[in-house]
Amino acid sequence: MNDKIKIIAGLAIFVLIFTCPFWINGGKAKDVPKPVLSEKALAAKTCVLPKDEMAKNHMQLLDGWRNSVVRNEQRVYIIKDANGIEKEYDMSLSNTCLACHTNKAEFCDKCHEYASVNPYCWDCHVDPNVKEASL
């Protein structure tokens, strides 16, 4: 019974510390960045998959492409569009994706920084728009 005040004070301090990040941010989350599309991407009006599906599942698609190209030597991705028409795409980050989405910093990096992810794509691939310094 004598420790009742200590327990209540301890719980109050715990709740204050635990909820502090919510108060500091004012209950507002950072706005989700909008990827900047190039003129070519805007003109194409279509991507390999629908926009919502690409936003959610692009890493799974790219992983599948990598496995197909590296392990099975399959380099063409065939998919049916909404009208049932088959379309073929080269399974290539550099030649397919970056052909339309030319600005990696404005298209890829913005969302990856927001989501705090560090994709390993760039361990092998290079951004064609960045010139490396010669050794």
Residues 13 and 5: their CA atoms lie apart, in Å, by: 12
According to the model, what pLDDT value does residue 58 have? 93
According to the model, what pLDDT value does residue 101 have? 87
According to the model, what pLDDT value does residue 102 have? 86
Spatial contact of 38 and 106, defined as CB atoms under 8 Å apart? no
According to the model, what pLDDT value does residue 51 have? 87
According to the model, what pLDDT value does residue 1 have? 60
Residues 62 and 118: their CA atoms lie apart, in Å, by: 15
Spatial contact of 79 and 54, defined as CB atoms under 8 Å apart? no
According to the model, what pLDDT value does residue 27 have? 65
- Across the chain, which has 135 residues, the per-10-residue mean pLDDT values are 86 92 76 86 86 91 93 93 87 88 88 90 78 56
